[in-house]
Amino acid sequence: MDEQNRRALLAVALLAARADGARDERERAAFQAAVERISAGGLDAEALWNEVESGERDLARTASELTSPATRELAYELATCVCDADGAAGEKERAFLAELARVLGLSRETTERFRREADALAGAPLAAGSGASELEELILRRAILCGGLELLPQNLATLAILPLQMQLVYAIGKRHGYELDRGHVKDFLGVVGVGMAAQFLEGFARQLVGGLFGRASGLLGGLAGGATSAGFSFATTYALGHAAERYYAGGRKLSSIELKELFRTLLGRARQLEPRHAADIAAQARTTDLGALRRLLA
């Protein structure tokens, strides 16, 4: 894929991130941090972000830069995943996606099928079976699963990382006597600095820099993940689990600053741990499909 199409895809994802018009300062900071980390491989993400934030880049112009049916369909899939990252798309996001489908010239059948699948993943219940009795086992298994999902080519697989992380925080809180709702779990992720849409965007951008296999593979989305993305998702999930354990075991007494610093420390440790589980992550990717993933999230 050439640089023009890669830039246009990233621009669509950034435009989708602004579609709800309701980002708070923590979400803005998460996006800014993600943009700074993914400027690589010829993609000046920060320049694109500035174009989007200033209003210089609009949807019609961006859509016109996508030069093939495959990249136009991929653009819609990416935008849907960004809009669904913190739950099924709201009214403004649906209006954005409808306009995107129009300027991309995509059929309703194509867009509705993918949107239904994405909404189903995004709306997965918090209370789901963990399949692990010990806390360390629960956290490690979930981190390996999320790392493995980054190696799959489907955008929906990357989107599924977010509800899996939310379920992990919920399960840990419940073990310590806290019945959490979706809003609290999202707030917890926001406090530690894990922006949900920003996390999806960063995972996608890492894969985009790594290259596109194309539709000859027969897999929805066609993006090929790499070890860097897998390590990022493993470490983030592992650190989230242990930060949640410390927080809820201690009676939720940590301040926002203390919790964020704790997560940062745990993330550094998790990155050192990831190479030991690289083979487990690869094995997870070989044995996971979207059907099994949906059953796990249900």
CATH code of the domain covering residue 85: 1.10.3680
**Mean pLDDT for the stretch of residues 143-155:** 84
Question: Beta partners for 212?
Answer: 223
Residue 143 inside a domain? The answer is yes
Residue 130 inside a domain? The answer is no
- Looking at the structure, tell me whether residues 109 and 141 fall in a common domain: no
Domain that includes residue 256, residue range: 135-297
- Asked if residue 116 lies in contact with residue 43, where contact means CB atoms within 8 angstroms, the answer is no
Residue 256 confidence (pLDDT) above 90: yes
Tokens of 226: 């790499």
- In a 13 Å sphere around the CA of 228, the CA atoms on its Cβ side amount to 13
Residue 115 inside a domain? The answer is yes
- Looking at the structure, tell me whether residues 91 and 202 fall in a common domain: no
Measured distance CA(9)–CA(20) in Å, rounded: 19
pLDDT confidence of residue 209: 60
- Looking at the structure, tell me whether residues 269 and 139 fall in a common domain: yes
Residue 173 confidence (pLDDT) above 90: yes
Measured distance CA(257)–CA(236) in Å, rounded: 18
Least confident span in 123-132, 136-145, 208-217, 278-287: 208-217
Residue 268 confidence (pLDDT) above 80: yes
pLDDT confidence of residue 269: 95
Question: Beta partners for 40?
Answer: 43
Higher pLDDT, 267 or 293: 267
Higher pLDDT, 209 or 61: 61
- Looking at the structure, tell me whether residues 273 and 191 fall in a common domain: yes
- Looking at the structure, tell me whether residues 29 and 115 fall in a common domain: yes
- Looking at the structure, tell me whether residues 142 and 260 fall in a common domain: yes
Burial of 29 (0-12, 13-18, 19+ CB in 10 A): middle
- Looking at the structure, tell me whether residues 92 and 182 fall in a common domain: no
- Asked if residue 148 lies in contact with residue 284, where contact means CB atoms within 8 angstroms, the answer is yes
Residue 152 inside a domain? The answer is yes
Q: Count of domains in the chain?
A: 2
CA angle 127/131/136 to nearest 5° reads: 100
Tell me if the pTM is above 0.85.
Answer: no
Residue 127 inside a domain? The answer is no
